[in-house]
Amino acid sequence: MIVFSACNNDKTGNSNMSPIGRQTVSDVISTLESNHGAGHSDRIRRGVEQVASLWRDTDGDAGAFKDFCSENFISENRELDLVFDRLANNFEYLYGYLNRISLELNRPIHEDVGPVHAIDRMFASFSPGAHLTDDFFTNKIAFFITLNFPFYSLEEKNSLGGQWDQRQWGFVRLGDYFTSRVPPALIQQYSNASSQAGMYISEYNIFAGRLVNDQGESPFPEGMKLLAHWNIRDEIKSNYGQPGGQEKQEMLYKVMLRIINQDIPSVVINNDRYKWNPLSNEVWAGEEKIDARPEGDVRYSHLKNIFNALSDMDPYYPGMDTYIKRSFEMGMEIPREEVEALFREYASSPLLKDVAGLISQRLGRELRPYDLWYDGFKARSSISEEDLDKITKARYPDAGAMNRDLPRMLVDLGFDRDKAVFIGDRVDVDAARGSGHAWRASMRGKPSHLRTRIGSDGMDYKGYNIAIHEFGHNVEQTISVYMVDNYFINGIPNTAFTEALAFMFQARDLELLGMEEEDPLKEHLDVLDFFWNNFEMMGVSLVDMNVWEWMYENPGATPLELKDAVTGIATDIWNEYFAGIFGESDIPLLAIYSHMIQSPLYLSNYPYGRLIMFQLEEYIADKDFAGEVLRMFSLGQLTPRHWMDKATGSQISNRPMFNAVEAALQEMRR
């Protein structure tokens, strides 16, 4: 954390090194220990050293630094508690309303409320909180907090946190707030890059009804619009066991490869005026074949812009000087090496070949690369997509219908009526422009938001399935904001934990439609489905991590060079872990996920979240679902290690999953 050296200047012209020398720090620590007693030595040392590491010439000279520390260190417990509560109140309002401002400014981008205008894009890229941290250093609030609520490393949190109560965790989490001084211009630069990438992805629709085969025929209904990659993937899933399903899957698989390789014609993206044969890559305007320009490297330009914006912040994070480190050790609070080792162990499991053989047997053919998304283990695969669409469209003709039904869903899951109404009333359902997401409230008194696609004729099954996943996020968001001890521990250890609850809800989507599956093998089929789907997510996550490593090794690469690197890395991961399973080599399919472009290093949360989900489901199997969800997700933002220990008494591992798969395969062989 601490940097004592000569000043350097960044590209904004600001000094990013501390002018406070070691002797000054030592003198201030000695003075405070003398004035407040040796019992406060640890807090004094941590606080003074951390303030010194963040102090800049513009904050004053060494004398000003000494005066600030002497005048503002708090040793009396009552005063410290009073200040903590005042800060909790102020930060809840501050971050809560900043979050609300961002939500409102992004509505035209995130919600299906009409055409997107240029002014909407401008507001969406504006970051209302870009100057907040800088202002808090300028007016010394950040220094006051750092002095009195010092930062603890991940290693220290893991070794000491077992003895802390929720209030003590709140003190420590407050210490996480000001550990760097990133210039506002760089924060705004990232906001611009992120917003542009998000808009690019949210409008990346393929009109499936305009896809044609070599005979000029389309196997898809006219008007079908699929957002890449989510809806394309889900359409592949929905066609298992359906008439003509494999032709559709092959065509959509080719669409994915065209997107990855960027030879997809630009005119067919979010445009229903042209017919396109993705097999031959030919395009027609009416009956006339036209020359269509490929998209080129647009997809990878957005990824490159996000990398540039985030890596420009690196000098301002002492000890966390790459976004990779910050994402894992500060974000997930799990070292990247630990996450990658877990994923590689999973992807190397010999059980995968056994499951692949079972899938091939059930399909009656050799596996194809798109069988990454095999959906035939699920109970709902025996129900046609068309029938499911009729049910969900009738029940949810608009967002309001789902909004009114949320408390009923929670009651069906075991929540008592009062708690179900309390949570349901704090969630708003909106029709999404993109595939769907959940937006956290960040303060009490404001709702979280559930976004999913809702067509003019109602919510189809894909939209419903996504909505139930997002509702799981909303339930976590409500519990972890309203039912924790203090504002500074609101939330969960990392996004993998909210994904875990979202997956738990999503797995109950048919149950919430009143459909029960009586298959005696259901439990084992669910395990195999879970295991296979997580294999795919491990692969795309490994690609994501390795792409970021490559970008740091090649910071001056062009978007075209980055495209070649991404496809090469995806192919290498495929060849290492997937080629032996699928019988095909040199396939770049793992590079299709849109998260890689708009949500940097987010993908690891999905497979990690699924492992957490599996362990949570195993733990609560003989317990009350609603009661355990309320208990676990009100633990607050502990580190993953301490959260898992308090929630289940065990740590995250592949072994429970492997054991369950072995048992499921034995049962299937009978």
Closest listed residue to residue 533, CA positions, set 668, 661, 641, 383: 661
CA–CA separation, 359 and 353 (whole Å): 10
State residue 664's pLDDT score: 94
Quote the CA–CA distance of 278 and 258 in Å, as a whole number: 7
Residue type, 135: D
Would you call 283 helix, strand, or coil by DSSP? strand
User: Cα separation of 554 and 548, whole Å?
Assistant: 10
**Is-above-0.85 flag for pTM?**
no
Token output for 656:
């429970």
Region for 191 from its dihedrals, namely left if φ exceeds 0, alpha if ψ lies in -120 to 50, beta otherwise: alpha
The 3-state secondary structure of 314-340 reads HHHCCCCCCHHHHHHHHHHCCCHHHHH
Identify which of 266, 256, 261, 267 has the alpha carbon closest to the alpha carbon of residue 300.
261
436 φ/ψ angles, rounded to the nearest 5 degrees: 130, 150
CA distances from 103 to 106, 447, 448, 450 (A): 5, 11, 10, 12
Centre a 10 Å sphere on the Cβ of residue 171 and count the other Cβ atoms it contains. Answer: 20
CA distance 585 to 579: 5
Check residue 115 and give its pLDDT.
Answer: 87
* C-beta of residue 324 within 8 angstroms of C-beta of residue 549: yes
Query: What is the model's pLDDT at position 382?
Result: 63
pLDDT tens profile 622-632: 999 999 999 99
Closest by alpha carbon to 173, among 486, 459, 395, 411? Answer: 486
Per-residue model confidence as pLDDT tens digits over 408-445 = 999 999 999 999 999 999 999 998 887 788 988 888 99
Helix (H/G/I), strand (E/B), else coil: 75 = coil
Phi then psi for 21, rounded to 5 degrees?
Answer: -85, 165
End-to-end CA distance of the chain: 58
Domain coordinates in residue numbering, the chain: 200-299, 320-376+519-669, 386-513
Structure tokens at 221: 């209904």
The pLDDT value recorded for residue 4 is 29
- Residues ≥6 apart with Cβ < 8 Å to 482: 422, 426, 444
Q: Which amino acid is at 276?
A: W
Q: How far is CA 106 from CA 398, 439, 659, in A?
A: 21, 11, 45
Peptide bond into 524 cis (omega under 30): no
Q: Tokens 């507001």 belong to which residue?
A: 123
Query: Which of 473, 409, 510 is CA-nearest to residue 606?
Result: 473
Label residues 258-286 b or e (16+ Cβ within 10 Å = b): bbbbbebbebbbeebebbbbbeeebbbee
Strands 205-207 and 282-285: unpaired
Q: Pairing state of beta strands 448-452 and 427-431?
A: parallel
Tokens 């472009």 correspond to 597
Residue 36's Cβ-side half-sphere holds a number of Cα atoms within 13 Å equal to 23
Q: Computed from CA positions of residues 42, 48, 52, 53, in that sequence, does the dihedral angle turn out positive or negative?
A: positive
pLDDT computed for residue 555 by the predictor: 97
Q: Judge contact between 503 and 469, C-beta under 8 A.
A: yes
For residue 288, what is the enclosing H or E element? strand 288-290
One-letter amino acid of 445: G
Strand order in the sheet with 282-285: 275-277, 282-285, 288-290
Contact 490, 481 (CB under 8 A): yes
User: pLDDT below 70 — which residues of the chain?
Assistant: 1-16, 379-382, 517-518
Tell me what pLDDT residue 9 has: 43
Write out the two tokens for 660.
């369950």
C-alpha distances (whole Å) from 661 to each of 607, 640, 664 are 16, 25, 5
